[in-house]
Amino acid sequence: MRLSNLFGKTQRQVPAEAEIPSHQLLLKVGMIQQVAAGVYSYLPLGWRVLRKIETIIREEMDTAGGQELMLPVLQPIELWEESGRHRAFGEGLFTLKDRRGRRLVLGPTHEEVIIQLIRQHVRSYRDLPLMLYQIQTKFRDEPRSRGGLIRVREFHMKDLYSFDADEDGLDISYNKMVEAYRRICQRCGLPFLAVEADSGAIGGKDSQEFMVIAEAGEDEVIYCPQGHYAANKEKAQSAKAPLPAEELLPLVEIATTGVGTIEELANFLVIPHSRTLKAVFYWADEELVFVVIRGDLGVNEIKLRNTLKCFDLRLATEAEVMTAGLVVGSASPVGLAGVKVVADDSITMGANFVVGANKPGYHLKNANYPRDFGVDILTDIALAEAGQGCPKCGEPLLSTRAIEVGHVFKLGTVYSENLGALYLDREGRQRPIVMGCYGIGVGRLMAAVIERNHDPKGIVWPPSIAPFQVYLCPLAGDEQQVVSKAEEIYRQLQVEGFEVLYDDRSETPGVKMNDADLLGIPIRLVISPRTLERNGVEVKRRWEKSTELLPWDEVIQRLPALIASFGSG
């Protein structure tokens, strides 16, 4: 490809809203262009990268036993109502009506559609196992599209669905996909961390996210420095330090005028936050919920939502709390009736806590569970934080920002039972198909690669997904001898099967060198009067500072090794 013919130009300035490196560089290089909030056109350079990532994904899916198909973007909303997920996705679901008034969904995912297909084609255990995948355009009405391709409303995604006869079969399919995802990340030159994750609106019992550590990441990963544990903060657990054992003391009411927060209470009584019990009120669907947790911990709202199995969860307003007869700033589970109480298990890891007294200006000392109060649900709903103990070994946990590029789920039978995807086993008994779901955001992976592979000059593409392998750059303007040699090398490289971007523009050496670095193509070949005098070509690997002068007849011979040396220099 001649650069003078390439559609899309490099830019020196980018919009102010492009705050993270991948977004800035994708715009500066001319790989994407925004059409609307969270909606982008892929220009030729960007599309070449995307297609190369898709090729790697397809090869790994096929190797693992996947069969590619294509499912529709438009889906009848009745399928989503049948599964109940129209409520789980809420306002994130794009909906529309056709000319006959029928309601449709722009698919954010395809579990319902694939199950409709499976119901018609799978009858017996002989039809299983199956692994079906697609690379498709998906839609989610994100409230805050940001970060270029990191969070968008229209996106390219690979999703594979596995169908097995039992849990053992699911384990095999799941492990195949985990290994395939590891290879995909490795082939894209992308270091990753596989972490425990919440299943969200997809559902299912177990899931892992493939995370790429990056400052621009939207997610926070909590991990053990010894490598024993890693999880998305939404899912993460920690070892909650128990308080010293002590004799249970009698419940005592104390005056605490003007005290309304845990911070104020701890300061007033000169006690650590861990000796208090915090009351937090939530509105879960149509119900007020009283949450009790030790004062040194925060509530993980994802864990709470999963515990309550509710669709909508938000903090209750002060008016809603008062309407329920509760006292803001001095509420307590002691003596409480008529309100659902969910407690974190940290309330069992200590004794003689200070809690509200359910009347203004007073608290209770020496409250103990279950002596003084009961709860409806006792479970882990605490937010894990860096510095708390690893649940596996007790070492202080660390945290880092990360980008999710892939997510694998063990769905089990939650969809097949609900939507009637059944098969006959060897004994002729009808059983639900056991499912798994495995997604990769293709555009997001592309952005994550840039987040991990760039420098102040521009992108540093891993050769496996670079838009071109070689950047051929003649210097000295229109000097005929230089141009003739560049044309000769360009033709020869093409004959040998190399992907070459030939900078045939009449630009200054400075402009060409800056664009070469900005574009990030792995190998730069420079031809100039100086190199001609020495019968050679100047070779530079994008990830190295040094250059090398090679004889013309060695360039093609050495190129494969030079390209393959990414990351070793």
Q: Please report the pLDDT score of residue 478 as a whole number.
A: 63
Q: How far apart are the first and last CA of the chain?
A: 28
Does the CA dihedral 74-77-78-81 come out positive or negative?
A: positive
Residue-wise pLDDT tens digits, 131-144: 999 999 999 998 88
Q: Which of 56, 61, 51, 55 is nearest to 161 (CA)?
A: 61
From residue 545, how far is each of 102, 151, 242, 388 by CA, in Å?
60, 34, 54, 42
Tell me what pLDDT residue 538 has: 96
pLDDT at 569: 44
The rounded distance, in Å, linking the Cα atoms of 23 and 18 is: 6
Q: What is the DSSP letter of 39?
A: E
pTM across the whole model: 0.90
Q: Residue-wise pLDDT tens for the chain (569 aa)?
A: 999 999 998 988 887 888 899 999 999 999 999 999 999 999 999 999 999 999 999 999 999 999 999 999 999 999 999 988 888 888 889 999 999 999 999 999 999 999 999 999 999 999 999 999 999 999 999 888 888 999 999 999 999 999 999 999 999 999 999 999 999 999 999 999 999 988 665 555 678 999 999 999 989 999 999 999 999 999 999 999 899 999 999 999 999 999 989 999 999 999 999 999 999 999 999 899 999 999 999 999 999 999 999 988 999 999 999 888 898 889 999 999 889 999 999 999 999 999 999 999 999 999 999 999 999 999 999 999 999 999 999 999 999 999 999 999 999 999 999 999 999 999 999 999 999 999 999 999 999 999 999 999 999 999 999 999 999 999 976 688 999 999 999 999 999 999 999 999 989 999 999 999 999 999 999 999 999 988 899 999 999 999 999 998 888 899 999 998 886 54
Answer positive or negative: Cα dihedral of 267, 272, 276, 279: positive
Domains and CATH numbers, the chain: 47-236+399-451 (3.30.930.10), 252-379 (3.90.960.10), 468-564 (3.40.50.800)
